[in-house]
Structure 1
Amino acid sequence: MKNSQKLGGIKKLQQNSNHEDLVQQEQLCQELKDEIIQILRMDADHITVMDSINALRSEDFIESHKAIIKLRRTLANFEQEIAKENELIPILFHIIQYGSTYLLKLEAACCLYFQYYLEIISILAGGRSEITRIIMENGILQLSMSVLDGNQSELIMLIITILGKLAGESVKYRDSILQACSMDKIISKIESKYKSIYIWCLANLCIGRPSPKFDKIQSAFEIFAQVIMEEFNQQNLKMINDAIWALGYMIDGEPNRIAALINSGVVPQLINLLPMGNFVSILRIFECIFYGTEDQIKYLLECGFIAHIRMIVDPKSRDKSGDMIQTFAATETLFKVLSNQNFLVSLFRSLSDDNQNLRGDALEVIGNAIQQGTNEDVGRLVGNGLIQYLLSMLEIANEKEIASIHLKKGLEILIKIIRKGEIKAKDNKSNQFFIIFVKLDGVSVIQKLLSYKQDDVAKYALLFKQEFDI
């Protein structure tokens, strides 16, 4: 299709705008504004896509704009399959390219008219992959930069919506957008009334694998942290969940990104949001932390992670956890986190920690895992050193203060582990878990507890001795 066919009347308008007769130009501007105001006050009648394409190709400037406004109203009110996007989209972009600079001089009325073009593109951007490809190929990034350089908030909001949809379509489009439009430029345009749309767009620009280079998205990281720290309510629920969702992709298990997350101060808030926010996305953030350094993992545990997980996995508290683990994705993510080797080792190390509350929560989580788990589950815990860590806690009881309730809980867990080993063995000598216990000098540890200063602990040690005949 030739440009003259695409442009129609808009080309003539462009030529007139360059005429030296300024008086005639001002008169034309006024006439156009009057016409557009009348168009916008029309009844909301509808038009087919094919009829709108024909009107846009015509030499009649006003009729082409009537068509585009009717089309916008048609798309807004009816869910329909758009069969001619490959023809419509290039025409829309061509008219915008040659006419937008001049039309924006016509102030509010024409800005509203120009908004209709962007609204149609925004609607189409949420369609099939083929449509998004056509939109990307017809200059949306150049148009976006032009609009973002302006100060028309409604037009900027529509561009942000379009960019968010395109970024969510593919990593390729996401990276192209990040190459053309900096995060700082988008963030600088955030308005409170459209904040949730901006956060959603920024989130789409940060998700996907491979993750974008951190220097390109770091400024959005800080925005997400601020959103998460806001007071939680139903009005900002989606916005907070979008921010959480994005952070889960952004930290990506790299220690420097995890350090940025911790330094932002959001980890305690994320733990508090477990019962209310996006449970799966929060768990994925914590899973990433478990691939960080030992200090980073310990920080997460000290912020109360184990206490909240204890509530979720404890059958007695399951009713308090609401619907958090009622979906397959949530259950799968939870068990993926709980079976992470780094998490297990950190959990077991907590048994000898000076923090009594942390130790108590760790014992409850481990106890429930042993009670509810299969032989295979218990075998995985033992394989990660659980028996050794339990014996270490029991052994240091003579050197530093360990609450008697924790010592009894440790003995109780140890008894249950060895009992699990007996399911496939008829005597202690062939019990794989008992063999590990003996090799780790567990017998001498129990012998010492028989004379422990607190009688209730000594009684538990005696029960252990009698049951397993040591």
Structure 2
Amino acid sequence: FPFSPRLLGNSSRLTMTRNAIWALSNLCRGKNPPPEFQKVQPTLPVLARLLFHTDADVLSDACWALSYLSDGPNEKIQAVIDAGVCRRLVELLMHEQSNVVSAALRAVGNIVTGDDVQTQVILNCGALPCLHHLLSSIKESVRKEACWTLSNITAGNRQQIQAVLDANIFPILIELMSKAEFKTRKEAAWAITNATSGGTPDQIRYLVEQNCIGPLCDLLTVMDIKIVQVALNGLENILRLGDQDAKLNSGTNRYAVLVEECYG
């Protein structure tokens, strides 16, 4: 790519910039095999600049390019973080054009598949209020991607689960887990189950208070075996806590009673 930073850096003509960034995003794309990262890495400073362009198509393609570059191992995610794009990507989650939002959301979602420190960079940019907002988007695909992004955040550490809790996101996830289209319900279920796996006893009790047991039980009867497993894992984590509480208190597992009530 000897030409691309120069071409994209100085082109004042919008059509040329649009065509160049579209071509560039396609060069960053591809899984089998992915492009050699050393060859596409020099485009990162250019993409970082283009995130401040005024044209929605340019913004969208720049975000897609960053999403392709961050789709992979943590070293690639780190290179994208080091380019300084995270704060702007989070800001673009609130853009008025849905094609920009979808692309920025995929890039943010890929970054939070990294380790806890990488995920924290996105949280520190104020992503949770934006994701809260996107959970009630009119576009089902955006709601699904927001759930997927949150499922990778709730797979993080207890402080990160607490941040999701403090942002009042779990009640919406639980509602989506019971009422949304199936693809979205699946991602919401992952988000809840991940929180039950890594959460503190108090965090798990909070999820039960928000009525997560019923929607998890409902997923046990679907035809998708992977999601049945996910729902079972979540219920198992909750019932294990119920057992511990029972030993300390009344002797009955309150959560087992709630699960039984779901089955009449």
Alpha-carbon distance between aligned partners in 1 of 2:7 and 2:202, rounded to the nearest angstrom: 58
Per-residue Cα deviation, 1:307-354 (whole angstroms, up to 9, x for no partner): 3234444xxxx5xxxxxx3212212212222333xx11334548x999
Q: Which residue of 1 aligns with 2:96?
A: 192
RMSD over aligned Cα atoms = 3.1
Which amino acid in the other structure matches residue 133 of structure 1?
Answer: F
Percentage identity across paired residues of the two chains: 15
Change (3 A) 1:241 1:140: same
Change (3 A) 1:130 1:214: closer
> Using CA pairs below 8 Å that are at least 6 residues apart, which structure has the higher relative contact order?
2
Which amino acid in the other structure matches residue 76 of structure 2?
Answer: Y
Alpha-carbon distance between aligned partners in 1 of 2:146 and 2:61, rounded to the nearest angstrom: 20
CA contact (8 A) 2:151 2:190 kept: yes
Shift of 1:284: 2.5
Which amino acid in the other structure matches residue 174 of structure 1?
Answer: I
Q: Which residue of 1 aligns with 2:22?
A: 119
Shift of 1:132: 4.9
Q: Which residue of 1 aligns with 2:189?
A: 283
Q: Which residue of 2 aligns with 1:255?
A: 158
CA contact (8 A) 2:113 2:119 kept: no
Moved over 6 A (4+): none
Q: Which residue of 2 aligns with 1:165?
A: 68
Shift of 1:265: 0.8
Alpha-carbon distance between aligned partners in 2 of 1:114 and 1:279, rounded to the nearest angstrom: 39
Change (3 A) 1:213 1:117: closer
Alpha-carbon distance between aligned partners in 2 of 1:216 and 1:309, rounded to the nearest angstrom: 31
Q: Secondary structure at the match of 2:177?
A: coil
Residue 203 of structure 1: which of 95, 106, 109 is its match?
109
Alpha-carbon distance between aligned partners in 2 of 1:312 and 1:145, rounded to the nearest angstrom: 41
Q: Which residue of 1 aligns with 2:232?
A: 335
Shift of 1:274: 1.0
> Is 2:264 aligned against 1:363?
no
> Is 2:252 aligned against 1:346?
no
Change (3 A) 1:133 1:303: same
Residue 294 of structure 1: which of 193, 201, 205 is its match?
201
Alpha-carbon distance between aligned partners in 1 of 2:156 and 2:48, rounded to the nearest angstrom: 33
Shift of 1:237: 1.1
Q: Which residue of 1 aligns with 2:176?
A: 273
Per-residue Cα deviation, 1:234-271 (whole angstroms, up to 9, x for no partner): xx111111111111112335221111111111111111
Q: Secondary structure at the match of 1:192?
A: coil
Q: Which residue of 2 aligns with 1:305?
A: 212
Which amino acid in the other structure matches residue 198 of structure 1?
Answer: A
CA contact (8 A) 1:244 1:281 kept: yes
> Is 2:41 aligned against 1:129?
no
Shift of 1:130: 4.2
Change (3 A) 1:129 1:211: farther
Change (3 A) 1:302 1:364: closer
Relative to the length of structure 2, the TM-score reads 0.81
Change (3 A) 1:134 1:289: closer
Larger Rg: 1
Alpha-carbon distance between aligned partners in 2 of 1:279 and 1:227, rounded to the nearest angstrom: 15
Alpha-carbon distance between aligned partners in 2 of 1:283 and 1:353, rounded to the nearest angstrom: 29
CA contact (8 A) 2:164 2:170 kept: yes
Relative to the length of structure 1, the TM-score reads 0.48
Q: Gaps (5+ residues) in structure 2?
A: none
Q: How many residues align?
A: 251
Which moved further from structure 2: 304-313 or 255-264? 304-313
> Is 2:21 aligned against 1:96?
no
> Is 2:87 aligned against 1:213?
no
Q: Secondary structure at the match of 1:157?
A: helix
Shift of 1:120: 1.6
Alpha-carbon distance between aligned partners in 2 of 1:282 and 1:144, rounded to the nearest angstrom: 31
Per-residue Cα deviation, 1:431-464 (whole angstroms, up to 9, x for no partner): xxxxxxxxxxxxxxxxxxxxxxxxxxxxxxxxxx
Change (3 A) 1:253 1:145: closer
Alpha-carbon distance between aligned partners in 2 of 1:170 and 1:161, rounded to the nearest angstrom: 17
